[in-house]
Amino acid sequence: MNAPRHRVVVVGGGNAGISLAAKLLRGGCPDVALVEPSHVHHYRPMLSYVAGGAATLDDLRRPQVEVVPDGVHWYPDRVTAVDPQASVVHLAGGEQIAYGDLVLCPGSQVDWDAVPGMREAFATPHASTSYLPEHAPATWQMLSTLTSGRAVFAISDRHVPCSPVGLKPLFMAADHWRQAGLLDAITIDLLVEGSRLVGTARADRELRAVADDYGVRVRTGTAVERIDADARTLHLRTSDGADTLPYDALYVAPPHRAPEWVAASGLATDDSDGFVAVDPQTLQHRTYPRVWALGDVATVDTSPSGGALRKQVPVVAHNIPAALLGMTLREYDGYTIAPVTTSRSELLLAEHDRHGHEEPTVPFPDLARARRSLYLFDRHGEIQVYWHRLLRGKVS
């Protein structure tokens, strides 16, 4: 039997995939297919608010069928392989789909093997994360019930989607502990694998000052190599050598990896850790010109974030027909954004390009200074923009 064929096949039904599919339809593409196995759609940026006690899972999820754009053919299955030479996608159910252009945006996933003992630690009430919906509510339960001891927040820089948002549960918990009169009884350690808390020098200084105000001990260049869940002890790699650190509550923004089928299908390079090897500017695959990628799975030389997709989606939507017609391709400058709460009522934005240069959305007011208005928009307004504009392809 001949495989069904679509003009564009989009793999991944998250923010990137739905937004792009809708954008392509609005641009006149007559035949778009979507491959996404999940029947529940999550607005993932709000998971950090769940972990900080300011939202619930019901606030951020909807049935997938409600967000798939009308006119898109949805395959509720998962990809097991891609044959880029035959232009065919293989699904777990045995079906094959042929494509004219293929867009890969399946996201990334927690790399459990990167930190031995992490899975076991997350199975206890003493460790959690906001990066998995099933663990986000447990994060706030763990943090809000801590009345004394040591709370450790560990932020990896290994392909973590928008890693600075891992600071949201920290500062929201610290503000809670202060208001409850518990801050002096709790030792807070922040372990950051990179050299900065966030991508711009100015926002980094702001957040370090906030951390200092809460009494947080900040340690950059520090990675968690292993977790002993029974002993509640972290084994660390630091610039000064090996170290250990006990914990009573542990939050982790964990390392991520690309789906294994990406590398197995020959779509990654040896130095991309299995992520899709695209041109960082055009988002076109370096070897297969009819393959594209965006979002967490793409090698675009900048920190992945939902805000980055607002720039990436229009680039891919333009470049797919432009490449076919031999027209000039648009370029993505690496814009990304990290919204970080500094308390339970204020937030700042770190916006920058792939070189770390500030790239503010508006010149005034200064969005890199914590403001209540930014908190209210990020918590309550942004999600409405997401449901009613972004997922409907209304980005430019």
Q: Do 121 and 210 lie in a common domain? A: yes
Q: In this structure, is residue 293 part of a structural domain?
A: yes
pLDDT at res. 269: 82
In a domain, 295, yes or no: yes
pLDDT at 29: 96
67 phi and psi angles, rounded to 5 deg:
-110, -15
pLDDT at 177: 98
Q: Are residues 289 and 328 in the same domain?
A: yes
Q: Are residues 201 and 247 in the same domain?
A: yes
C-alpha distance across the termini of the chain, in Å = 40
The SS3 call for residue 203 is helix
Cβ count within 10 A of residue 264: 13
pLDDT score of 248? 98
Q: What is the pLDDT of residue 369?
A: 94
Q: Average pLDDT of each block of 10 consecutive residues along the chain (396 residues)? A: 90 98 96 98 98 98 98 98 98 98 98 97 98 98 98 97 96 98 98 96 96 98 98 96 98 97 94 92 98 97 95 98 97 97 98 93 89 97 97 90
* Cα gap 339→369, rounded to integer Å: 11
Number of folded domains that form the chain: 2
The pLDDT of residue 21 is: 98
Residue where a domain stops, chosen among 255, 277, 304: 255
Best CA proximity match to 101, nearest among 83, 87, 118: 87
Residues 133 and 220 in one domain: yes
Give the per-residue pLDDT at 362: 86
My answer on whether 126 and 262 are in the same domain is no
Domain stops at, among 255, 290, 318: 255
Backbone phi and psi for residue 329, each to the nearest 5 degrees, phi listed first: -90, 145
DSSP letter for each residue of 357-384: -B--SSSSS-TTS-BHHHHHIIIIIHHH
Q: Is residue 356 part of a domain?
A: no
Residues 249, 120 share a domain:
yes
Answer whether residue 339 is part of any domain. Answer: no
CA distances from residue 189 to 186, 227, 309 in whole angstroms, order as listed: 10, 16, 32
Residue-level pLDDT at 1? 55
Which class for 50: exposed (0-12), middle (13-18), buried (19 or more C-beta within 10 A)? buried
Determine, yes or no, domain membership for 162. yes
160 phi, psi to nearest 5 deg: -75, 125
Q: For position 140, which CATH number holds?
A: 3.50.50.60
Residue 249 in any domain: the answer is yes
Domain boundary at 209, 225, 255, which?
255
**Does 209 share its domain with 126?**
yes
- Going by their DSSP bridges, the two strands 186-192 and 217-220 should be labelled as parallel
Residues 214 and 130 in one domain: yes
Do 145 and 246 reside in the same domain of the chain?
yes
- Residue span of the structural domain in which 304 resides: 5-108+258-334+388-392
Do 215 and 122 have their domain in common? yes
> Looking at the domain assignment, is residue 46 inside a domain?
yes
Does residue 27 sit in the same domain as residue 143?
A: no
CB 52 within 8 A of CB 168: yes
Specify whether 214 is located in the same domain as 285: no
Structure tokens at 23: 């954008």
Asked if residue 96 belongs to a domain, the reply is yes
Q: Which residues of 86-121 are buried (b: 16+ CB within 10 A; e: fewer)?
A: ebbbbbeeeebbbbebbbbbbbbbbbeebbebbeeb
For residue 17, give the H/E element and its range.
Answer: helix 15-26
